[in-house]
Amino acid sequence: MATAPLIELDPSWPRLDLAQAQEILCAPGQRFEMETVDIRGVPTRVWKNAPPSLAALIQLSRAHGARPFTIYEDERVTYDANYRAVAHLAARLREMGVGKGDRVGLAMRNLPEWPVIFFAATSIGAIIVPLNAWWTGAELEYGIADSGAKILFLDGGRHGRLAEHYRNMAQLERVFVSRTDAKLEGRFGHFEDLIGGAKTWADLPEIAFPQVRIAPDDDATIFYTSGTTGHPKGALGTHRNIITNIFSGGYAAARSFLRRGEQPPEPEPRTSLLVIPLFHVTACSAGMMTTIASGSAMVFMYKWDPVAAMEIIEREKVAVTGGVPTIAWQLLEHPDRDRYDLSSLENIAYGGAPAAPELVRRIYTEFGALPGNGWGMTETMATVTSHGAEDYLNRPTSCGPPVPVADLKIMSPEGDRELPVGEVGELWVKGPMVVKGYWEKPGDTAEAFVDGWVKTGDLARLDEEGFCYIVDRAKDIIIRGGENIYSSEVEDVLYSHPAVTDAALIGVPHRTLGEEPVAVVHLAPGTTASEAELQDLVRERLAAFKVPVAVRFSDAVLPRNANGKIMKRELKAWFAAEQAA
């Protein structure tokens, strides 16, 4: 049963149902035509017209010529300059003996160098390993050792963080550091000595692009999971996995036009403000891939700051931003918002974490922008479901229907039977975006990946039309006296309070009930709300056993990992320490 729409929609919407839209868009000869291929023994629907590899994509991108690709402070790199830099770095890597299947580590902020390194390595058949730039030196050492990287690229900040760890990484043959004045010798060198700095790439001479035979299902990437328990695992992705996002994103946009009775336009270049790290699949796979395909531009920030973001949106006429819900909240709630011209914003989209219906409504009514979200995970190389425009306004608690090349099913906790429409169980996903498995972890791979399906660990339900609703992480469900409490439904109610901009429900131990729910919230600047007020709000809308027994207020936004998910383990530890004090 669908949630009530956030706004009154045109009575004629939708002009087409999902099946009708798919039939038109995916018809033979159309851009989104599909075909079935064998992937590791499993017949799988794929986008027929997708580029076969990342090497093919970056070569096609040169057609965008003088259009800007990356913008970072006063550095503006065109598509042609980016292509030249990729070709030269790929050639240098081959000179160093890097070949097919070799791992190349990459640990740096969002900088113009990042996509150059990414495409240079993957274009010669190597496996790029984007490492979490927020990790400590020990965590970076783990990722480098676990992946077996032989070449490492990083910025000055990460280089300093690893200073005491290099002695443990004898397998690293060469380390190249960008944007540093440090003296480098031996196996260490300056990145700029390879191909120069970003401002000089347009002047690099024309050279032949390295020709390497790469198949769509060859290994391309190792992205590390969030690592909420134990060591993070490396998800081994293919060229097809990551390229799939280009057509999945394009299809979702075209579907929105058909649903409102309009003809989808040809893709046009737009400028996006990318504020989430490229080492996460949401930014790299869902963001950068679709940016390149449309000849659009990405603006990078040194670090997130809402005022700096509004300045960039006004100056660069940014049309798309988002990433995680917190970004949208901070823009909406900022007291200086009216001082900036944000009228260029057309879409504010996010993934990685669910958003409250109130945020969806406010994006539309206050910014005049269309909200968008979707669902995916590191193991699916981002997009599996996509939700936007009127569909999102109509079903604000859903993450959307699957893209046509993906299949979803809801399974029992034991994984032995598929559950009917409307029932909550574990979400399983199949499609060309599902990665091969976990790098050198056959046991974990066998447990999570079954006959082309990946067990997501998310609890979800599907409605009659196939729209997916994520209700919780399986490990985050709160069981109070035998009754299940899904955190998302309580958090959605808390977010409906005008003062609440961040909210999380956690379970705390109870001697007789097992667990009890506790809420941690962050309020917008200059607003107030009391514990009793928020408890009463939940009590009015949900069953009594779901009402938080306590509400704690955080002066700062709640801690999140790199993909935007609130780190509930940290909140539980904080609450326990507060109770003990």
User: Quick one: residue 375, left, alpha or beta (phi over 0 = left, psi -120 to 50 = alpha)?
Assistant: beta
The pLDDT, as a whole number, for residue 341 is 96
The pLDDT, as a whole number, for residue 134 is 87
Is residue 562's pLDDT more than 70?
A: no
The pLDDT, as a whole number, for residue 2 is 45
Is residue 10's pLDDT more than 70?
A: yes
Beta partners for residue 515, in sequence order: 509
Q: For 401-431, write each residue's pLDDT tens digit.
A: 999 999 999 999 889 999 999 999 999 999 9
Crossing angle between the packed helical segments 79-95 and 113-123, to the nearest 10 degrees: 50
Averaged over 110-115, what is the pLDDT? 98
Is residue 229's pLDDT more than 60?
A: no
pLDDT range class, residue 4, cuts 50, 70, 90? low
| Cα→Cα distances 522→209, 504, 551, 555, Å | 51, 9, 10, 6
Q: For 295-311, write each residue's pLDDT tens digit.
A: 999 999 999 899 999 99
Is residue 463's pLDDT more than 60?
A: yes
Q: For 207-227, write each residue's pLDDT tens digit.
A: 999 999 999 999 999 999 865
The pLDDT, as a whole number, for residue 231 is 77
pLDDT range class, residue 1, cuts 50, 70, 90? very low
C-alpha closest to that of 106 among 200, 177, 55: 177
Give the residue ranges of DSSP H helices in 42-100. Answer: 54-60, 79-95
Q: Tell me, what DSSP letter sits at residue 288?
A: I
Cis peptide before 14 (omega within 30 of 0): yes
Coil, helix or strand for 411?
strand
Is residue 372's pLDDT more than 50?
A: yes
Amino acid at 37: V
Q: For 267-285, write each residue's pLDDT tens digit.
A: 899 999 999 899 999 999 9
The pLDDT, as a whole number, for residue 228 is 45
Q: For 160-181, write each residue's pLDDT tens digit.
A: 999 999 999 999 999 999 999 9
Q: How far apart are CA 300 and CA 279, in angstroms?
A: 13
Is residue 65's pLDDT more than 70?
A: yes
Is residue 483's pLDDT more than 90?
A: no
Is residue 3's pLDDT more than 80?
A: no
Tokens 């959307």: give the residue: 400
Beta partners for residue 35, in sequence order: 46
Averaged over 113-137, what is the pLDDT? 96
Q: How far apart are CA 305 and CA 303, in angstroms?
A: 6
C-alpha closest to that of 476 among 449, 452, 457, 450: 457
Percent of the chain with pLDDT over 70: 97
Of residues 89 and 457, the one with the higher pLDDT is 89
Are 180 and 159 in contact by the 8 Å Cβ rule? The answer is: yes
Number of H helices, E strands in the chain: 18, 28
C-alpha closest to that of 158 among 100, 117, 102, 208: 117
pLDDT range class, residue 315, cuts 50, 70, 90? very high
The pLDDT, as a whole number, for residue 216 is 98
Averaged over 115-144, what is the pLDDT? 95
pLDDT range class, residue 92, cuts 50, 70, 90? very high
Coil, helix or strand for 475?
helix
Is residue 120's pLDDT more than 60?
A: yes
pLDDT range class, residue 356, cuts 50, 70, 90? confident
Is residue 352's pLDDT more than 60?
A: no
Averaged over 520-547, what is the pLDDT? 92
The domains of the chain, with CATH numbers, are 18-49+236-473 (3.40.50.12780), 54-214 (3.40.50.980), 477-580 (3.30.300.30)
Provide the whole-model pTM: 0.87
Whole-angstrom distance between the N-terminal and C-terminal Cα of the chain? 45
Crossing angle between the packed helical segments 18-25 and 239-259, to the nearest 10 degrees: 120
Averaged over 461-486, what is the pLDDT? 85
pLDDT range class, residue 201, cuts 50, 70, 90? very high
Averaged over 571-579, what is the pLDDT? 84
The pLDDT, as a whole number, for residue 353 is 58
Is residue 516's pLDDT more than 60?
A: yes
pLDDT range class, residue 573, cuts 50, 70, 90? confident
Task: Report how far Cα 84 is from the mean position of its chain's Cα atoms.
Answer: 28
